[in-house]
Amino acid sequence: MKMADTGKREVCEDADETCKPTAAKRPKCGAENQPDCDGGGECANVLSGFKVKSVLRDSARDKTIFIHGTVEDQEAVVILEKTPMRQDDLAEIFQECRLKLQMKNDIYSTYQLQPPAHLNEIKTTVICPATQKHVKKYLSQEMFLVEETGEDYLSTTLPYIESQSFSVQWVYNILEKKAEADRIVFEDPDPDTGFVLLPDFKWDQKQLYDLYLIAIVHRRNIKSLRDLTSDHLPLLRNISKKGKESIQKQYGMPACKLRVYLHYQPSYYHLHVHFTSLNYDAPGCGVERAHLLTDVIMNLEADPQYYQNRTITYTLRADDNLLLRFREAGRC
């Protein structure tokens, strides 16, 4: 089951990624006859036959490990992520935990703490069958900074995008209510200025600290930030206003506690806007990728063609085919 940014609905961080960044996919790896477990009940262990090939990346900071292997002879990527502790669980953790002393020095002591089993969960994302692109996506690699001019976009980036088969059918499934309809928090059905708002699968919805929602526009002719002009200001203002109002109403989080932004390069080429809690250091919220929606609106108010002309700086992984295009053009 692919969950993401990561699941969860998993966000595809690479510009050449064809996987679905924000939608759940039921695996075929030994799970064809497994009971449905969307209701919160326990599922049969689809990982019982998982055979490890390699560890692609291990992030001690994020307490996440990315593993490549096979399930019933199908390639798979498994992501294990330690779930955050919640304040409501602390009393039970302290009362029922097991402690093993590691070190004591004067007033300082450290222990290995084993909490109750039901409070010691690991969030698990399974991508199966996984393609080589999925494996490369999670492999630890060097990053390179690219300065893309408006001319670079037209001569290098856009032809690359158009030459690839970046499927966004999963997006259309959401917009047409063929999938994930029960997860939609808010919808404005207007074909020009409307959008759907739903939680990203990186957010387990158990606490507001890491709140993360995605607004996906109904219009199908806007690939990314580069396509935006002043003609799209009504759409962007509507997303900003109604998205914030909906989150305030649904979750009680005011606009002043939200980070609202677009990615460039995006994970997938259908315009979408990220809403995250300011407390959450969400993947891709750094200055080399995130563009605040308020800034985008003001830039287009000042210059209707701002994003057609400006130089946009972003990072690409060493194995990204778009990076190869820039190198061939002598731009990196």
**Is residue 264 part of an annotated ligand binding site?**
yes
**Is residue 118 part of an annotated ligand binding site?**
no
Side chain identity at 15, as an amino acid letter?
Answer: A
**Is residue 178 part of an annotated ligand binding site?**
no
d(CA 242, CA 255): 11
**Is residue 232 part of an annotated ligand binding site?**
no
CB atoms within 10 A of CB 268: 24
**Is residue 272 part of an annotated ligand binding site?**
yes
d(CA 172, CA 177): 8
Q: Is 1 exposed, middle or buried (0-12, 13-18, 19+ CB in 10 A)?
A: buried
**Is residue 265 part of an annotated ligand binding site?**
yes
Q: Element (H or E) spanning 76, and its range?
A: strand 74-82
**Is residue 209 part of an annotated ligand binding site?**
no
Catalytic residue among 68, 232, 272, 291: 272
**Residue 232 is among the residues annotated as catalytic for this protein:** no
Q: What are phi and psi of 216, to 5 degrees?
A: -110, 125
**Is residue 56 part of an annotated ligand binding site?**
no
**Is residue 266 part of an annotated ligand binding site?**
yes
Looking at the chain, how many residues does it have? 332
Q: What are phi and psi of 86, to 5 degrees?
A: -115, 145
Torsion-angle region of residue 274: left (phi > 0), alpha (psi -120 to 50) or beta? beta
**Is residue 262 part of an annotated ligand binding site?**
no
The CA-CA-CA angle for residues 113, 117, 119, to 5°, reads 80
**Is residue 263 part of an annotated ligand binding site?**
yes
**Is residue 271 part of an annotated ligand binding site?**
yes
CB atoms within 10 A of CB 276: 26
**Annotation: binding site:** 170, 180, 200, 202, 263-274
Catalytic sites, residue numbers = 272
**Annotation: binding site for substrate:** 170, 180, 200, 202, 263-274
